[in-house]
Structure formats: C-alpha cells, structure tokens
Amino acid sequence: MIEEDRKISIEEFDGKKYQIKFVEPENKAILTHYLHNVDNKASKHYKKDALNVLKNFVEYKNEENIYLAEEEALQHLLFEVENVPFPTPKNYKFKFIDLFAGIGGFRLALQNLEGKCVYTSEWENAAKKTYQKNFGEIPFGDITKDRIKNYIPENFDILCAGFPCQAFSIAGNRKGFADTRGTLFFDVEDIIAKHKPKVVFLENVKNLVTHDKGRTFKTIIEILEKKLGYKVYSKVLNTMTHANVPQNRERIFIVAFDPKQVTNYSEFKFPDKIKLTKTIHDVLEKGKQDEKYYYSKNHQYYPELEKVMNSRDTVYQWRRVYVRENKSNVCPTLTANMGTGGHNVPLIKDDYGIRKLTPRECFSFQGYPKNYVLPNLSNGKLYMQAGNSVTTILIERISNEIIKVL
C-alpha cells in the first residue's frame, strides 16, 4: 500500500482510480512543468527527466492491477494539471518565468495578458499547495541550488521576481544584504546573466529604496545597468492609487529592458494613477462571518476596540496595545504576520460586532478573484500568503505597459 503522503489519486472519466507514487521532492515539479509545456518548445527541456520519473519512480496501477503505458499515464496527469481554475493559456503571446512565486500573483496577472509561464520556483510548502490548486503546477524548490536553476528553459521573454522582502522591510530586521534572504537577489542576477531575458520585472517593499541609506537599492540598480547592461525604470506605486483596490500598499517596482533585444525600450512608462472608485464594502463579505473571527464582549481588549472603532467605512489595525484607524477609509497594508497573535491584525466593525478580516477578504484586498482557491490550510498560513503577495491588478497594469513595448 502506498503511504498517504506519497501519492496523488487521479480520477478518470470512467471512475477508475490510479495511484502515483513519487520518491524525489522535485519529481512533481518536473512532471507538471513538462505537461504545462507540451505544446511549446520548453517541453523538450523537461521531457527526458519527466519520462525518467515515470519510468523509475512512478507506479501506475488501475483497479485490475494492470500497469499503464507511460503515454496513457501522462494523459491522465495532463487532465489533472489542466483541470484547474487558472489553466495556462493555449494561445500565448509571450513566455515568462515566475521566481519566488509565492501563490502566483505575477502568474495570474501575466496569464490574463496571454502570457505562458514556462518555469516556477517557490520554496515554501504551504504556498506550493496554494499554487498547485490554482494553476495545476508544482513549483521547483530552492532557487539557490544549481540543479534547480538548471531546470529553467533557455528562452523566455520576461523574468518575474517578487524576491523576498523581509530583509529590507520595516517589519523585518532590516539587515538587507547581510541577511541570507537579501542575498537571493544575486541568484536572480545569475539567472539574468545566463538567460538574458528581454525584460526583468521585480517587486519589493518600499523600504528597499531607503535601506542602508540607499546603498542597497543603488547596488541592485548598478548590477542591472552596469554589469548586466539593462535599461532600468523604477517607481514606488500604491495599490489604492494605481489599481483601484482599496488597500494602502506602497511597493517599489523595477522594470529593466535588454536594449539589444528591445530597441524601443524608451517608450516604457509606468501606468498613470486611476481614480479609486471602490470602497472596502466592495471587498468585504456580506452577512455574518464565522464566529471565530469576532471578538467576544468579555475579551480583555474589547472595551478599547469598542471605544475606538466607531466607523463601518474603514479597516482598523490592531497594533499590539492600541487600535489605529486608517484615515483614508481603505484597508491598511496587509502584512505577513497579521495571523500571528495581535500584531497588525486588520479589524472591521460590521452589523454583528467587531471582527478580523477573513482570509478570503485579505486575498480580495490583493486583487485575487473570487474563484481563486484557498486550500485547506491554517488561517495563519493563508494570512501570511495574502500579506506576502503582490496586488495582482497592479502587476497586470504594469505588465500591460511592458507588453506594449514588446
């Protein structure tokens, strides 16, 4: 009998069940990447290893204990990876890779613009689960390892990377390049140098610009411009002013073009501001939510919350010992630690009391559509994923300007 954590059950149209046993952690990534690219040249990059996985590590058996041929097995798996809320586009206009992919904010945006993702990397297991549920693809793991980098196909147009921001964040320890998470930028540099994509699209916290008196940001720009030869544009944009999403979220965006491949790079411009027409009520779930999200009246902090929280038109933020109102009547910046105790928890007052935002509401404040699947994970993990994510609508607006130039 195959152990429960070592198998996936795939139900075919006739109701028969097949069990797939994986031994190596990257085998699922290899197979799903191959299947997602069967209709383009990137598939040859994965084909040999994918077939070896099937031959050496995968056991297929139907109800009559008859082993399936590799090609038939692949067809069953193909159905599995395509039968998801956000399948990869069949007719695509450009190819991109998704590094430090998180839960797929970049991918969602670029697929909406008819882009095809040919490689994904993300090390955090819970994020991988969310990514798989929505895109049918399992990301490769630790991008610092050469064997993982070697799975990146030779040719693609755009490199996307929301590289880890904790090292530069006000909420983090602000060690920057002294922090191992900060040095992950140099892995991005290695990939750019080897593959020379037409465009590099990076996102990080606003504090990256001023970190270490601006020296960290200057280093990144100099590497892109002087060492790698790219023409670089950067700008701090806010979700509520540039995406019509009622969240006060400032991030630095860096877009770099290879002038040898994109001669009209000077035509690029970041998207203009747009009017914020949506309010928090366009995002919040209607009716009473699960009781676990509400503060009981005998909670030690309830008197303080009740005294301060008198508006239903904004999202408040619990800051350990006090409540802060967002004066612009939008949601304050969602953070990765909002599910860990009392710090940075977004709160609202509704018809039924004072409560935390639900994970679904947090995902909506990042622009994720209602059919985006939240898997069976702890709320703490889901809050972390929402807080670490990009605002997908803003990524799409910037990407649209990139595509115009391409």
> Which domain, by its residues, includes 31?
4-82
Give domain status of residue 393, yes or no: yes
Give domain status of residue 88, yes or no: no
Give domain status of residue 89, yes or no: no
Same domain, 34 and 130: no
pLDDT tens-digit readout, 153-166: 999 999 999 987 55
Asked whether the beta carbons of 141 and 135 are under 8 A apart, the reply is no
Place of tokens 């606003």: 206
In the set 117, 160, 165, 331, the catalytic residue is 165
**pLDDT surpasses 60 at 37:** yes
What's the CA gap between 223 and 204, in Å, rounded? 16
What's the CA gap between 81 and 68, in Å, rounded? 19
pLDDT for 113 equals: 98
Higher pLDDT, residue 307 or 66: 307
Same domain, 247 and 393: yes
pLDDT for 26 equals: 84
**pLDDT surpasses 90 at 116:** yes
165 catalytically annotated: yes
pLDDT for 70 equals: 62
Question: Three-state SS for 239?
Answer: helix
Give the CATH number of the domain where residue 137 resides: 3.40.50.150
Q: What is the pTM of this model?
A: 0.88
Give domain status of residue 380, yes or no: no
pLDDT mean over 48-72: 62
pLDDT mean over 232-258: 98
**pLDDT surpasses 90 at 351:** yes
Same domain, 68 and 28: yes
pLDDT for 289 equals: 97
Same domain, 321 and 293: yes
pLDDT mean over 140-151: 93
Same domain, 257 and 299: no
**pLDDT surpasses 60 at 174:** no
The residues that bridge with 355 in the sheet, in sequence order, are 294, 348
Same domain, 110 and 225: yes
**Mean per-residue pLDDT over the chain, rounded:** 86
User: Comparing C-alpha atoms, which of 63, 96, 106 is closest to residue 204?
Assistant: 106
pLDDT for 177 equals: 57
Higher pLDDT, residue 377 or 326: 377
| Nearest-10 Cα torsion for 166, 143, 108, 176 | 20
User: Total structural domains in the chain?
Assistant: 3
Q: Give me the phi and psi of 28, to 5 degrees please.
A: -65, -40
Same domain, 67 and 166: no
Same domain, 365 and 259: no
**pLDDT surpasses 50 at 1:** no
User: Comparing C-alpha atoms, which of 101, 107, 172 is closest to residue 139?
Assistant: 101
Among residues 57, 82, 107, the one where a domain terminates is: 82
Tokens of 171: 């909420």
pLDDT mean over 117-122: 97
Give domain status of residue 166, yes or no: yes
What's the CA gap between 193 and 186, in Å, rounded? 10
pLDDT for 126 equals: 96
User: Comparing C-alpha atoms, which of 106, 99, 86, 97 is closest to residue 391?
Assistant: 106
Same domain, 164 and 216: yes
5-19, 20-34, 318-332, range with the lowest pLDDT: 5-19
Burial, 19: exposed, middle or buried (Cβ in 10 Å; 0-12, 13-18, 19+)?
Answer: middle
Asked whether the beta carbons of 10 and 20 are under 8 A apart, the reply is yes
Letter string b/e over residues 212-243, b meaning 16 or more CB atoms within 10 A of that residue's CB = beeebbeebeebbeeebebebbbeebbbbbbb
Same domain, 298 and 397: no
Give domain status of residue 116, yes or no: yes
Same domain, 286 and 272: no
Distances (CA, A) of 294 to 155, 312, 319, 388: 50, 15, 17, 24
**pLDDT surpasses 70 at 42:** yes
Give domain status of residue 378, yes or no: no
What's the CA gap between 56 and 67, in Å, rounded? 14
Identify the band that residue 319 occupies on the pLDDT scale cut at 50, 70 and 90. Answer: confident
102-106, 164-168, 392-396, 400-404, range with the lowest pLDDT: 164-168
* DSSP tag of 376: S
| Residue type, position 248, single letter | N
Among residues 40, 55, 82, the one where a domain terminates is: 82
pLDDT for 93 equals: 95
Among residues 35, 62, 82, the one where a domain terminates is: 82
**pLDDT surpasses 80 at 296:** yes
pLDDT mean over 369-377: 97
Give the CATH number of the domain where residue 321 resides: 3.90.120
**pLDDT surpasses 90 at 229:** yes
Give domain status of residue 194, yes or no: yes
Place of tokens 């799409």: 396
Same domain, 175 and 246: yes
